[in-house]
Amino acid sequence: MNILICDDDKICVERMKEYVQDFFRDRKIADYKIYEYFSGEAAARESDIIDIAFLDVEMEGINGIEASKILRKNNKGIVVFIITSYMGYLDDAMDEGVFRYINKPLDKNVISRGLRKAVELCYKKQSKKIVIKESKNNVIIEQDDIIYIESIARKRCVYTEKQEYLTLESLAYWKKLLDDDMFFLVNKSIIVNIKKVEQFSNNNIRLKGIEQEIPLSRDRKSEFKQKLLLYLAGQE
């Protein structure tokens, strides 16, 4: 897990770093890395995947909210904390999906409580790794990258945003392997990723990045709608 801390006050960065280290040490979590920055410009240039960011809102140049906008372009699931002593930025922060405000002076207990919830959220957002067994190779992909899986003759075609894969594993195998709250068998030969649904009608589903519509079986329509609504409710 990658944690970014950015504040133009070096003492604040050191204190925040100490609190973060204490949090992970107390929970015996060793798999984390801390990135320290003292300007919004420098933080915004970070190219590594960042899971959680603590950003001071009152910095010269690029402030914390502006830096969070840039970071979010490469880190869609980033959890952002805004550090401030002035609550006037609340509306802007809410517009950018900021997870929480942290007031100065820093309070270790407040940070620890916020970190606990942020870490739980990050673990939930992390995509499961999937192994696709092709004829000659085993390919590892992110579950989130799958758009849909179609049964064609004796093979299954796994469609992702970047590539298509052919495998002999059955639809029953894929249905059992994939997360049930995220994938749904919309007809006897196609499993779709609920997250990729762009629109649907009584008979068809349109998926992001896919031109052709996917047929929706009449007897699965009600369950599909319920599954989609449950997913959307979880995103609020």
pLDDT (0 to 100) of residue 28: 87
Cα–Cα distance, 70 to 64 (Å, whole number): 10
Average pLDDT over residues 58-84: 88
Which residue segments constitute the domains of the chain, with CATH numbers given? 2-125 (3.40.50.2300), 129-234 (2.40.50.1020)
pLDDT (0 to 100) of residue 183: 94
pLDDT (0 to 100) of residue 34: 97
Average pLDDT over residues 167-174: 93
Cα–Cα distance, 224 to 217 (Å, whole number): 10
pLDDT confidence bin for 126, thresholds 50/70/90: low
Of the chain, the percentage scoring pLDDT greater than 90 comes to 56
pLDDT (0 to 100) of residue 127: 65
pLDDT (0 to 100) of residue 87: 57
User: Which carries the bigger pLDDT value, residue 146 or residue 127?
Assistant: 146
- Do 119 and 81 touch, CB atoms closer than 8 A? no
pLDDT confidence bin for 3, thresholds 50/70/90: very high
Beta strands in 72-196 (DSSP E): 79-84, 100-103, 129-133, 138-142, 146-152, 155-160, 164-167, 183-187, 190-193
Region of poorest pLDDT, from 110-114, 121-125, 129-133, 178-182: 121-125
pLDDT confidence bin for 236, thresholds 50/70/90: very low
Q: What is the mean pLDDT of the chain?
A: 88
Cα–Cα distance, 24 to 32 (Å, whole number): 8
pLDDT in tens, 11-42: 999 999 999 999 999 988 888 999 999 999 99
pLDDT (0 to 100) of residue 131: 87
